Amino acid sequence: MTGGRGFIGDELSALRRVATLVAQGVPAADLFHAVSEEVGRVFGEDLAAVMKFDDDGATIVGLAKDFDEVTVGTPGDLGDRTATGAVYRTGRSARVDRGASDPPLGALAGRVGVVSSVSSPIVVDGRLWGAVTVAGRDRLPRDAEEQLADFTELLATAIANAESRDALERLAEEQAALRRVATLVARGDPAESVFMAVSEEVAELFGEGLAAVCRFDADRSAVTFVGIANDLEGLEVGTHVEVTEETPAGMVYVTGRPARLDLADWSTLSSAMGRIASQLQVVSSVASPIIVEGRLWGVVSALGRTKPLPPDTPRRLERFSELIAMAIANSESKTALAASRRRIVTASDDARRRIERNLHDGTQQRLVSLGLSIRAAEADVPPELGSLRSQLSKIATGIAEAAAELQEISRGIHPANLAQNGIGAALRTLARRSPIPVDVEVSTDTRLPEPVEVAAYYAASEALTNAAKHARATRVDVSLRWRDDDVLLSINDDGIGGADPASGSGLVGLIDRVTALGGAFDIQSVPGAGTRITAEFPLTPGSDAQPD
Amino acid sequence: MSGSLRVALADDDVLLREGIASLLVRHGFAVVGQSGDASDLLTVVRAEQPDLVIVDIRMPPTHTLEGLDAARIIRSESPSIGLVVLSAHVELEQATDLIGQGERSAYLLKSRVNDVDDFVETLYRVANGGTFVDPALVQELVSARRVHDPLDALSPREREVLALMAEGRSNAGIGHQLFVSEGTVEKHVRSILMKLDVVEARDDHRRVLAVLAYLEAR
């Protein structure tokens, strides 16, 4: 076949068609196939291919026509006498005449009798990405290299675009993942949920389904898994695994810095963590330290199974470990706050109980005895001292009144009835003494944990006081329901609404009480629509508010 | 009844216990034993078989319901002994617990001992088979507000009669209290029962329980 630019018209229209596909952003595989076809058509040959290079060699990613021996995905031949091999080694376009055996031909070359082949490099952002190669049964035109270069340039542009688009997409995905985790943290979700969420997001972004969050045990020679992505078979939250410096998690505890390990065969590692990684067929692992308020707490690990994790993985993982650190710090300060609240509430309850007891068993008894002494004195007064007798009688009556008042006061300080008869009886007594009608429904006769009874009692008491004093309600419904693992107290009135916990009412103390027990408090008080207060008290083991 | 009423007394406050004891002696009762806790009281009661037991509800060791528990044991061992339970504060649950065990019982605020005449009268009524619930508790029950309160149908006088019924007074006792004849009281009682749609109880003790239950449940 004679050379020359006689094909220029065909080439231009072929390039235009490829350019259109590039502009449309068709998937890479389709583009590679189209380029191979067009190149083949321009040279009147069906042996044309797009090849991608990597450290290990070349892979065919586009082919003008499939053959039995050669298809997309077949390794490219980079032998000495191949044009593609020359491109791979030199980075420049190459031509081989006289008995070329070039990919995609390889085994095919002999059968179809190739005499000439040309290959042109695809250079993306200054790096050798791959090559377009065409082989001829006849000798290829003299300027075949230049013609091919037009296609590789176009392809390089398209690949650069696609790569930056991929990078952008990856960045967007990563940002979205970070945002989702940050939302959990900001919302104050339990640290455990944050660990799980991070594991799953990291697995999705870097780790081919493999990622975990681990906490260093006290002696740091082992870690406990606290978050695990779905696909990490054989491991579960709570699993302890011994670690050494040979794996990234172990390196982190020595250096306090991110660590990575790329290793084709992890079975050579002797530590338990190494064996687990080996079983999971890990080839690459990156661990990023979780540092909570200056102390090394644990690691976030991403694991790669088929290929090394991207070089920027440590830097990108760091953002996730920072979020985890924040969640842990939040949860620690929340726990400390709850414990301190609990101590305060318990202390004040104890004080109230003590005062009530002192009033009843001490002061009130004293008054009654005093009254009795005066009555005795009164009885001893000789009949002729009638006015003294009536004076003593008045004093005795006054003392009795004082005792009655004291009884009212002590009842307000702490309801002895609550400890003796339980929350149902105490709520009914509260209801009887309320100046507005109160309907009480209690679903259980079973005694609840004392802190729950006390908190529910004061919550109801405060709400009833508010309903009577401020809400101008004509009725209140109080209900206490024991559900599976919590107790729900609700107090609804038909008053004017508009109650605001922020305005310094007793509602604030009430919220403290409920949250000190790990419970949830809610108040709905739209002006004109009554007030609805609900408090949920967890009954799970450990919710029992013990002073620590 | 011949001779003085024999009384056993239990309260962990020695001063108060002595005060009550001397009051009792002054009014012609025989104090056959004084105890500071429930188990000692039971020993005394078993030995002395008194006519009446006066017991503080809150005593060692736990200072909760020891007196009430002791009363229950005494009731089961010696049903004829009158039981007077004193409490620093009155609760419906304790009242129905005690009264529910049978007649010859009184549930009183401790400070009632200062109204000496009333207190002494109550002791005699209990010894004679009566039942008595502290007026403070009855008042709490009667004055509790309800959205649709059946008590609204009662006249003020009928409300008074109802409260006295709840305290455990007989028709004669109510008449005495309100300075009206027993016949007038009977008329009020019939009117109240009709308005509240309650069946007449067979005796004063059952009447107390029925009225208390009605007041709480209305």
- B98 in contact with A, Cβ within 8 Å: no
pLDDT at residue A540 in the model: 65
Is there a contact between A428 and B92 if contact means CB atoms under 8 Å apart?
yes
Separation in Å, CA of B183 to nearest CA in chain A: 33
- Helix (H/G/I), strand (E/B), else coil: A113: coil
- Reported as a single tens digit per residue, the pLDDT across A489-538 is 999 999 998 887 777 667 777 888 888 888 899 999 889 889 999 999 99
| Chain A CB contacts of B15 below 8 Å | 365-366, 369
Can you give the pLDDT at residue A1? Answer: 42
Across the interface, which of A361, A366, A376 has its CB nearest the CB of B22?
A: A376
Instruction: Return the closest-CA partner of residue A285 out of A257, A270, A256, A264.
Output: A264
Given this model, what pLDDT does residue A102 score? Answer: 53
Nearest to B146 among A364, A429, A437 (CB): A437
pLDDT digits (tens, 9 = 90+) for B33-65: 999 999 999 999 999 999 999 999 999 888 889
d(CA A498, CA A164): 56
**Residue B126 reports pLDDT greater than 90:** yes
pTM: 0.63
Residues in B closer than 8 angstroms to A381, CB to CB, are none
Farthest CA pair distance, chain B: 53
Cα distances (Å, whole numbers) of residue B214 to A184, A342, A476, B196: 54, 41, 21, 9
- The dihedral sign for the CA sequence A139, A142, A143, A149: positive
**What's the CA angle centered on B137, arms B133 and B138, to 5 degrees?**
75
Give the one of A396, A397, A432 whose C-beta lies nearest to B144's C-beta. A432
- What is the pLDDT of chain B when averaged over all its residues? 93
Q: Is the ipTM of this complex over 0.85?
A: yes
CA distances from B153 to A475, B51, B194, B195 (A): 20, 42, 11, 7
Residue ranges for chain A with pLDDT beneath 50: 1-5, 542-548
Q: How far is A434 from chain B (nearest CA, A)?
A: 7
Find the residue in B nearest to A401 (Cα). B111
Cβ–Cβ contact A187 with B under 8 A: no
Tokens of A41: 């058509």
Least Cα separation, residue A430 to chain B (angstroms): 10
Mark which residues 179-208 of B lie under 8 Å from A by CB: none
CA–CA dist A258, A319 (Å, integer): 12
Please give the pLDDT value at position A336. 85
Residues in chain A with CB shorter than 8 Å from the CB of B143 are 432
Angle between helix axes A144-187 and A8-24 (nearest 10 degrees) is 0
A504-540 in b/e form (b: 16+ CB < 10 A) is ebbbeebbebbbbbbbebebebeeeebbbbbbbbbbe
* Contact assignment for B114 to A371 by CB distance below 8 Å: yes
Collapse the DSSP code of A366 into the 3-class scheme (helix H, G, I; strand E, B; otherwise coil) and give the result. helix
Task: Check CB contact under 8 Å for B88 and A373.
Answer: no
Is there a contact between B93 and A420 if contact means CB atoms under 8 Å apart?
yes
- Measured between beta carbons, the chain A residues lying within 8 angstroms of B93 are 417, 420-421, 425
For testing the chain B interface, which of A367, A370, A372 should be mutated: the one with the most B CBs within 10 Å? A372
Distance CA(A141)–CA(A136), nearest Å, equals 10
Mutate to test the interface with B, among A358, A360, A375 (most CBs of B within 10 A): A375
For residues A272 and B2, which has the higher predicted lDDT (pLDDT)?
A272
Name the residue type at position A340: S
Q: What was the pLDDT predicted at A545?
A: 38
- Cβ partners under 8 Å of residue B92, min gap 6: A425, A428, A429, B137, B140, B141, B212, B216
The radius of gyration of chain A's CA atoms, rounded to the nearest angstrom, is 41
